[in-house]
Amino acid sequence: MSFRPSRIILSMCCTIALVEAADETVYRPWKDAQGRVIRAAFVSATDESVTLRMADGKVHQLPLGRLCAEDKAFVKSLSGAPAPATAQGAEPAVTAPALNRIPVEKRTWPENVVVPTKSIEIQVVEENPAARKCVYRSEGFEFTSQAKLAGSVMKEVARTFEATKSLVSSLPWGVVCRPPEGFERYQAELYETRKDYIAAGGPENSGGVYMSGDKIFRVPFPSIGLKLLGKTYAKDDNYDGGTLIHEITHQVMDAYLTFLPVWVIEGTAEYTEMLPYNAGKFRADAHQKGLRDHITEMQKRGYALEIGNLEEHLTMNRATWAGIANTTNRKMGELYFRSVLAVYFFCHLDGDKKARASSNSWTPSMATPNPCALFSRIPASSTWTAAASATRRTSRLRT
């Protein structure tokens, strides 16, 4: 199955322009090789230098060689350029192999994504039930559980996590799934009861949550299909892991959450959640069925099949989004539904069938040759036309 051009990869380019126009600059700590730290926002990068914007608005260009290894890797993950060579014996940039991406014109949409068996081999790190601390590891995740879990049960828990990571890595979005800086694996905490989960900071109306502040996925046992049988926990194979997949998608895309527009963040998580999934296998080629089933379910719940004012949706800043989402669950559902429809459009309906595009990853430094084309090719629709006008305005701001 071919990967259609001008899709969400390019749509992200123009929406990043919209975010920049809304003055949502992301500032982060930057450390040099001597350990000195400044706080600045990434602007652009070349093979030899990085340009940063300070909080006072001043822009400085620094030699890439002055940065610490972690920040060199971060810059390369944004720019997509090859990692610089390291001195003999020095620690190599951890992203060099991962950033050897397949050129976008050669990418294809996967049919089935199956979690590798080796990914769910479980290592017991610590088991201390009296202290309610048991630590287990799969290939890409470390799980801290409040109760002891049998290896076979833990393997089934890890299966959904590892499968979602494999899916996001396999989709032709150019996403590099890599644990946050300072962690060897993604972190997850498993709580026996919802009371424990809420006490640890989990939202009361949620089944699980990824908190980007401390980089931890928190989830209560019922949300991962664990139920107590006698004195041991067993896996309920009939549970619905949709919310889990949504939040794991956020977790494995952590490096992108600071600059992606909210509609892309939530739309992609809704997209992975709607794909048919069973026992570690995603049917990525069944996205049409997934969308139909998702639309049917949303309509049963009273949601209209429409995006509404597309310009307003795609240009919405984070504060506005949060203000709407926090009003009612209904309003939040509308935002999510519109977002997944837009993501699906850019993934599968926009452009021609030859998969031509000029950028190769989701990065804020990408250049879009004609961002207006993302919307202007769509048949007459006032909302899509309005979005095209917004894109034209913001593209002028970037030049």
Count: domains in the chain: 3
Mean pLDDT of all residues belonging to the chain = 74
The distance between the two most distant Cα atoms of the chain, rounded to a whole number of Å, is 66
- DSSP one-letter code for 346: I
**Nearest Cα to 384, choosing from 374, 396, 394, 393?**
374
**pLDDT (mean) for 28-42:** 79
pLDDT at 26: 64
Name which residue leads in pLDDT, 5 or 307. Answer: 307
Percentage of the chain modeled with pLDDT above 90: 28
pTM over 0.75: no
The answer on 265 and 191 residing in a single domain is no
Look at residue 2 and tell me whether its pLDDT is greater than 90.
no
CB 280 within 8 A of CB 115: yes
**pLDDT (mean) for 222-246:** 79
Mean pLDDT comparison of 4-13, 133-142, 152-161, 201-210, highest-scoring range: 133-142
> Would you say the C-alpha torsion 53, 25, 208, 74 has a positive or negative sign?
negative
| 3-state secondary structure (DSSP) of residue 318 | helix
Structural domain containing residue 239: 115-257
pLDDT band at residue 100 using 50, 70 and 90 as cut-offs: low
Name which residue leads in pLDDT, 276 or 21. Answer: 276
pLDDT in tens, 163-186: 999 999 999 888 888 898 889 999
CB 219 within 8 A of CB 207: yes
C-alpha to C-alpha distance for 173 and 176, rounded to whole angstroms: 9
The answer on 312 and 230 residing in a single domain is no
pLDDT at 50: 84
The answer on 239 and 266 residing in a single domain is no
Look at residue 217 and tell me whether its pLDDT is greater than 70.
yes
The answer on 20 and 128 residing in a single domain is no
Alpha carbon dihedral 250, 256, 258, 260, in 10-degree steps, equals: -90
CATH number of the CATH domain containing 224? 3.30.2010.30
The answer on 390 and 279 residing in a single domain is yes
